[in-house]
Amino acid sequence: MSASAPKPLHQVVSVLSGGQPAGPPAGVNEPACFADLNLDQLVRSVTAGREEYDLRSFFYASLPSPAQAEYRHEVFRDLDRPEMRSVVDSFAREMRLVRECLAQARAVHHRLQKWLLFLDAALAYGEAVESLASGLSAAGPGSAGLRALSDYLACHLTSAAHSGLREDARRIERSVAHITYTLHIRGNRVTVRPYAQEADYGDDVRATFEKFSGGDARIAERRPGFPAPLEVDHVEAGILERVAALFPEPFADLAKFFDQWQGFTDPVIGRFDREVQFYLAYLDYLRPLQAAGLAFCYPQLSEQPGQTAVTDTFDLVLAVKLAAARQPVICNDIRLTGAERLLVVTGPNQAGKTTYARAFGQVHHLASLGCPVPGTYATLPLPDRIFTHFDRGEGIETRGGKLHDDLIRLRYVLNRATSRSVLVLNEIFTSTTLADALGLSTRLAERVTALGCRCVWVTFLDEVSRHSPQTVSVVAMLSPDDPAARTFRLERRPADGRAYAQAVARQHRLGYAQVRARIMS
């Protein structure tokens, strides 16, 4: 059996998925869990201002293996270095100029103006590619992704495609730049003639009008005005046509260049221009949080179920809002060891239980993208999918009732979840009696435990936290000095709802001893 031929280099150079198909699968949609975990808000914020790159799909598709995640970790570390970030930012700005020139070339109607704008785009592109190649080489990338790109660029710069484009563009630029002509304006008649060493009256004109500028000939540059129209007007078009008639050879070359070099952007370079924005956008999103003292780390990932441990993590979306308001962000730990699979979260309302559950889901999804995650340390099994079940309330669409809707949605999740899945359940079975809620919760806990998936479950039923040895109880804590004050910290400890009730009763002087003393007095 003969060995398969290696893939062409341009098919495997991708900073998102080296050696694998580049980019997310075609037609990937926003996962159903995003709204519950506020990941939809996160993606909107991360990609804001970068709409031209269409980045959202990159945040939807999880990676298939820990090796792919580590590949992205390396690129993130590279781009977090100031010298590397400067190189890539400069390239992005230059490529944005290229796209603007090409867009203008498509928008204008006059063919000569279209050709000249196209030439500007090609010149800017050549400069961008060569600057990127030299910048990467000088910065010394440590990641496999950027090293592969640097190697590719070294070959590409010597290719006929690149050298031909650069040589043609520069030659035509020189020939067009050397065109000189004179305009003779008399009344409404404009005559275009070749330059014949006539005197230059520019200095005389500037001197004449300088007195109107208050001593500053550049006064007009400081005055706001209307932007110049993109299209040439009929007078400018007429002048341009006559200049082209006077100098046919440079414009013939320009026409040929326009026809020959359509689609000059190399596919690998164009792909990098888009893909690298995934990293830059996420790093920029994290920067204010890091400035506020919050930590991020690169998680250790495995394909097999094992330890789940995240130290000092937090809800990323909430943290952005709190940091902007200069309010403290409370961090918590997540830990499942050995056979533990089910985190049951109990405690008083408005104490951070749902926030903790969202943080659990967010950290798993971000880890599956190969992104840094909130926390000082993280080790996680790589999830295949994340499922959520949050309270939707009861509306006209829930024709069978809220409980019926809960059961239908849970059946959908349980029929699709695997041992590698992550489940986030928040306050389910609240529309039925306590006895029925406890019975249904017991059945659900049995199914989740049998699946072996990792699950965080926010519930008002303390009994669920004692379901099996695979179950861990996490309790939202209150201030020991003020039982009505939430600390928003959650700890592994046995659930005891009665302790909270007794604390509140004591606060209001309704404890057993207090009431008895009042009766006896």
DSSP class of 15: S
Count how many residues are written for the chain. 521
Give exposure, 306-344, as e/b (b: 16+ Cβ within 10 Å): eebbbbbbbbbbbbbebbeeeeebbbbbbebeeebbbbb
Strand-strand pairing, 373-374 and 296-297: antiparallel
Secondary structure element (H or E) that encloses residue 457, with its range: strand 454-458
| Cα–Cα dist 254/56, whole Å | 39
User: What ranges do the domains of the chain cover?
Assistant: 292-520
Residues 299 and 379: beta-carbon distance below 8 Å: yes
| Cα–Cα dist 184/191, whole Å | 5
Determine what percent of the chain falls in helix, strand and coil, rounding each to the nearest 5.
55, 15, 35
Token representation of residue 418: 């695997």
The contacts of residue 323 (CB under 8 Å, 6+ apart) are 288, 289, 292, 294, 329
Name the region of 495 (left: φ>0; alpha: ψ -120 to 50; beta: rest).
beta
Three state DSSP letters for 18-85: CCCCCCCCCCCCCCCCHHHHCHHHHHHHHHCCCHHHCCHHHHCCCCCCHHHHHHHHHHHHHHCCHHHH
Tokens 């089910």 found at = 342
| Cα–Cα dist 27/354, whole Å | 31
Could you tell me which CATH class the domain 292-520 is placed in? alpha beta
C-alpha 21: how far from chain center: 19
Q: What is the pLDDT along the chain (521 residues), one digit of tens a residue?
A: 344 443 444 455 799 987 655 556 556 889 999 999 999 999 999 999 999 999 999 999 999 999 999 999 999 999 999 999 999 999 999 999 999 999 999 999 999 999 999 999 999 999 999 999 999 999 999 999 999 999 999 999 999 999 999 999 999 999 999 999 888 888 888 898 988 887 777 778 778 877 776 555 444 444 444 455 678 888 889 999 999 999 999 999 999 999 999 999 999 999 999 999 999 999 999 999 999 999 999 999 998 777 899 999 999 999 999 999 999 999 999 999 999 999 999 998 889 999 999 999 999 999 999 999 999 999 999 999 999 999 876 555 545 578 888 899 999 999 999 999 999 999 888 888 888 889 999 999 999 999 999 999 999 899 998 999 999 999 999 887 776 788 999 999 998 765 455 555 655 676 666 777 777 77
Q: How many CA within 13 A on the CB side of residue 310?
A: 28
Q: What is the pLDDT of residues 430-486, one digit of tens each?
A: 888 888 889 999 999 999 999 999 999 999 899 998 999 999 999 999 887 776 788
Tokens 């961008």 found at = 128
Q: What is the pLDDT of residues 348-386, one digit of tens each?
A: 888 999 999 999 999 999 999 999 999 999 999 999 999
| Cα–Cα dist 521/512, whole Å | 14
- Helices 82-107, 267-291: axis angle to 10 degrees equals 130
The whole model's pTM is what? 0.86
Burial of 241 (0-12, 13-18, 19+ CB in 10 A): middle
